[in-house]
Structure 1
Amino acid sequence: MNAPPAGPLPAPGRLPRRVHLGYALGSLATGAFGTVPGLLLLPYLTDTLGVAAGVAALLVLVPKAWDVLVNPVAGRISDRTASRWGPRRPYLLFAGLALALLFAAIFAAPFGSGSPAAGYVAVAFLATATAFAFFQVPYVAMPAELTEEYAERTRLMTWRIAVLALAILVSGAVAPMVVSAGGEGLAGHRWMGLFVAALIAFGAVGAFAGTRAAPTGRVRESEPTLRAQLAVAARNRPFRALLLCFVVQSAGVATILAGVNYFADQILRDPRTGATLLFACFVGPALLVMPLWTRIGARVGKLRALVAASLLLAVGVAALVSAPLLPAAAIYPVVALVGAGYAGQQVFALAMLPDCISWDEARTGRRQAGVFTGVWTAGETLGLALGPGIYGLVLQLSGYVSSDTGTAAAQSDPARFGILLGFTVLPALLVAAPLALLRRYNLPTANDDADRPVVVGNDSR
């Protein structure tokens, strides 16, 4: 499978609408896996399996941190894969279906509660994270091979983030409802695991089928070793700056996600519907503002739009620190602003990644999209893993009390303060602070060069 195939070259211009939608369907899988473990796995461990918050944080962190090692390997393998479906699409199907099956296994709970159950979750989550790496890395690599038009990548990412927002809404809002409808506790989580697995499988098969007529790219000359390829990625200064910023911001977003259930239970005092309402207010407006972000990006450039969206996200989530003093009717509109900022932050960061890949190809003459996206998704996965770990540590330090009943225990005032701080001020800092790194992102904007591969000279450091 390592011989370069004769296949279509990357598309020079606009893509059919069916390819936009087909590619975007893969975000049902990435959105569901990125959302539900971050939302429900930590509470599942602390409030259903009775695992101490600090240990639970470690169990959530380690398997996803494993992807930091696996993702670049998955990228290199997909870069060198030759098949009649192209180098990326086979992984959408086979790794996607494996991801769905293993996700259901995480919440199968064959050992009930306690230490054996916690160990089982850790192993199952590790296997699921590995399958996710082999789905996500080829999936994220595809835009650089689907089109070389600067503005078309933003359109492609707008479709993808719109479906991603829908996936977050469906998985994040409906999954807790499935847990409740299934009887809470172990039984409810088993039903939830099956529901999310079906969503992942639909997204994976949809992306595979929907991109069958799209340009797939072909294997090109690449560096001979993984170490050499990683060195190329490290020398790409715009990529390095964007990656570091996105990793830290992902940790901030994941910290918010990890705290949703705790915030709804202990701050809003609404354990049954609070999490669902938070997600509806977070994701619903995000879907509506996608066209607006596209126009803003076309007017001011992706970089400035990314900064603006990130600041909106950070300011909005910081404002939620006043939630204990406000009625719920005042809290949910602020959450909507946070969602609008999150939508733009995701759209522009992901639209800037293919620009970095094209710039590197123009500089080196080598297309290594898989390695760049492997490093990117490894960093993103690390950030998403750090979020629940950070939040779990805050819970541990503030004295959070675990439970094995399926219902959260009563918490002290310091524990409730930790829940609030971890959901608001801490993620706001994680989203805003890394924007300073973008000063080293020096690719042209759309106003400089919108329709051809980006070349800014040979200084990549």
Structure 2
Amino acid sequence: MNPLPRRVRWGYGGGEWANAVMWTAFTTLFLYYLTDVVGAGPALGGFAMMVGTAWNAILQPWVGLRSDRHRSGRGRRGPFLLAAALPYALTSWLLFTDFGLTGAARAVYYPVVVLAWFTSLTVFYVPYGALGAELSTDYAERTALATVRTAFSQLGALLGAIAPLALHGVLGDALGGGDRVGWSAAGAVCALSATGGLLVTWRTSRGCEPVVVEPAEDAQGPRASLELLRSPTLRLLLGVLAFGWAPLGVTGAVAIYFAVHVMGYAEGTASLVMLTWFVSGLVWLPVVRRVADRIGTSRTYVLFTSVWAVLQCLFLLPGRGDDALFWALILLGSAGSMAVAVTGWSMLADVADREELRTGRRCEGAVYGLAAFAQTAVAALVVWLVGLTLAAAGYSGGDDPDAGARTAIRVLMSVGTAIWLLPGIWCAGRIALTRADHAQVRRELANRHGPDAKVGDR
């Protein structure tokens, strides 16, 4: 198979940039924004995030199935990316915009905005993930696509984690509206940047995804998802993804609290924590890819996440003045998150091939929808528990929480993060997705469809 054009490979990263900018801003700063800027309690923030992620978990399989069934001359996935662009920009801005609502109005406003944002996110992100499996069937090319995607994820996460903290004061002063106006303006900057990446992927992938023009099959309804779940490999991979990404949800929500209230850093320094995490992740990225090429994706996942779990537990130790240990753990721990991203996305594409062999249908959307469901269902639980834990510990915002609240933050950042990795490690250890396995699947598919068949052809 011919390698993908460079513009397509690098343009594919734009969709992940679009997700990472706002997903990181949401998971790392939204709870903090509600408690320390808007003045809402942590329970409201945790509830809004839980409701949104739970809705997202329900919506994702349906969107995946719809994109599988979509038939047009422009492909199956591209139209979804374009349709989501404007709603995604608007709702991303609203996440960090406070209209001065209080009481019941505020309690309704933020959950509704979160629901709308997750809807627009899902409409583009599930088809976007499925698009990656359709652009190439080559094992190494898919790992390369996953690596590019992860690189853009890290770069987008840098903007999402740092820009609101770095810009809200400057923009608030410039616009003469204070802190809340500054946060809204910083949210607009992130929203526009994210949407630009989404449009880049839509533009560069046009004409590259296979066009499927035959009528939709009745079997590609809701029962198709249940049929896919009969696959032991897919069930294990869903566990890998769900419990690999759950620690990122905990760490993302708690890191700023840990930096400010446990380490004693100012907000500006707290933004450097996220900067260090994401930049060091980019440095680890080629290492992860090289290891995956050598020992396989599932073994790479087990290796890196096992080390990550140990490192995360060590966050029980640092406090004010223990800067060297704290920064060392940040630098080393980011390798695990890179391994989760690269290996997880790469394995998903290979599982989609296996499911085509088993069911006789291309079903990337359904596979990615189920994967997104598994990730966000666990994320809903994780984020909700973080909000409940902070509320139970008596955290109510401000510059000086009591000892109980600081202890809760420390436990969440350490053991409360590491424990979520254990089920994923167990699942990955039982998966066999090697280069040889993939080659065998592709040979059998070629025998079924003919040696010149493309992905998506029947």
TM-score by length of 1: 0.90
Contact conserved, 2:54 with 2:377, CA < 8 A, in 1?
yes
- Residue identity in the other structure for 2:405: A
Q: For residue 435 of structure 1, what is the aligned residue in structure 2?
A: 425
Task: Please give the per-residue CA displacement for 1:155-174, whole angstroms capped at 9, x wherever unaligned.
Answer: 11000001101111121122
Which residue of the other structure, out of 243, 251, 254, is the alignment partner of 2:246? Answer: 251
Query: What secondary structure does 1:240 align onto?
Result: helix
How far the C-alpha of 1:225 sits from its partner, in A, is: 5.0
Distance 1:340 1:438, change over 3 A: closer
Q: Secondary structure at the match of 2:121?
A: helix
Q: How many Å apart are 1:440 and its aligned residue?
A: 3.8
Give SS of 2:432's match.
coil
Query: Which amino acid is 2:424 matched to?
Result: P
Distance change in 2, residues 1:348/1:326 (3 Å): farther
User: 1:226, CA displacement in angstroms?
Assistant: 2.6
Q: Which is further off, 356-365 or 287-296?
A: 287-296
- Contact 1:13-1:148 at 8 Å conserved across structures: no
Residue 7 (structure 1) aligns with: none
Task: Report the CA distance between 1:377 and its aligned residue.
Answer: 1.2
The structure in which a higher percent of residues are helix is: 2
Alignment deviations for residues 219-245 of structure 1 (CA, whole Å, 9 cap, x no partner):
666453533111122112111111122
Structure 2 counterpart of 1:129, one-letter code: F
Task: Give the corresponding residue for 2:45.
Answer: 56
Cα–Cα, structure 1 residues 454 and 346, in superposed 2: closer, same or farther, change >3 Å?
A: farther
Name the CA distance, whole Å, in 2 between partners of 1:71 and 1:375.
7
Question: Judging changes above 3 Å, is the alpha-carbon distance between structure 1 residues 48 and 16 closer, same or farther for their aligned structure 2 residues?
Answer: same
Aligned length: 439
- Alignment of 1:262 onto 2:257: yes
Equivalent residue number for residue 389 of structure 1: 384
Is the partner of 2:362 in helix, strand or coil?
Answer: coil
Q: Match for residue 152 of structure 1?
A: 141
Deviation at 1:409, TM superposition (A): 4.1
Is structure 2 residue 400 aligned with structure 1 residue 410?
yes
Q: How much does 1:187 deviate?
A: 1.6
Matches within 5 A, 1:26-45: 26-45=15-34
Conserved in 1, the CA contact under 8 Å of 2:239 and 2:423?
Answer: no
- Determine if contact 2:298/2:432 at 8 Å carries over to the other structure: no
SS of the residue 2:387 aligns to: helix
Distance 1:86 1:424, change over 3 A: same
Q: Alpha carbons of 1:127 and 1:412: their partners in 2 closer, same or farther (altered >3 Å)?
A: same
How far 1:452 sits from its partner (Å)?
Answer: 5.3
1:192 to 186, 190, 193: 186
- 1:55–1:117: structure 2 CA closer, same or farther, 3 Å change rule? closer
- Equivalent pair of 1:42/1:388 in contact (CA under 8 Å): no
Does the C-alpha gap of structure 1 residues 244 and 219 become closer, same or farther in structure 2, counting only changes over 3 Å? farther
Task: Please say if 1:340 is aligned against 2:335.
Answer: yes
What residue number does 1:72 align with?
61
User: In the TM superposition, what is the alpha-carbon distance from 1:141 to its structure 2 partner?
Assistant: 0.5
Structure 2 portions without partners, runs of 5+: 173-177, 446-458
C-alpha displacement at 1:247, in angstroms?
1.0
1:369 — aligned with what?
Answer: 364
Contact in 2 for aligned 1:91/1:138 (Cα 8 Å):
yes
1:136, distance to aligned residue in structure 2 (A):
0.6
Q: CA deviation at 1:78?
A: 0.9
**Could you tell me which residue of structure 1 aligns to residue 413 of structure 2?**
423
Return the alpha-carbon distance in structure 2 between the equivalents of residues 189 and 277 of structure 1: 18
Q: 1:154 to 1:52 in 2, by over 3 A?
A: same
Deviates more, 1:79-88 or 1:299-308: 79-88
Deviation at 1:289, TM superposition (A): 2.0
Counting only pairs closer than 5 Å after superposition, residues 85-234 of structure 1 correspond to structure 2 as 85-183=74-172, 185-218=179-212, 222-234=217-229
Say whether the 8 Å CA contact 2:301–2:425 is kept in structure 1. no
Distance 1:257 1:166 in 2: 15
Identity, % of aligned positions: 28
TM-superposed deviation, 1:113: 4.4
**Aligned residues: CA RMSD:** 2.0
| Distance verdict in 2 for CA 1:378–1:371, change over 3 Å | same
Q: Describe the superposition over 1:60-115 as per-residue Cα deviations: whole angstroms up to 9, x where unpaired.
A: 11012101111111111111112232110111122133211111122222234444
| Whole-Å separation in 1 of the counterparts to 2:61 and 2:368 | 8
- Structure 1: stretches of 5+ with no match in the other structure: 1-11, 403-407, 457-461
For residues 394 and 42 of structure 1, the distance between their equivalents in structure 2, rounded to whole angstroms, comes to 13
Match of 2:276 in 1: 281
- Large movers: runs of 4+ above 4 Å: 219-223, 447-452
- Residue 454 of structure 1: CA displacement? 7.6
Contact 1:317 1:338 in 2 (8 A): yes
**Alpha-carbon contact 1:239-1:441 (below 8 Å) kept:** no
Residue 442 of structure 2 aligns to a residue in which SS? coil
Assess, with a 3 A threshold, how the Cα gap between structure 1 residues 219 and 369 changes in structure 2: closer, same or farther: farther
Moved more, 45-54 or 341-350: 45-54
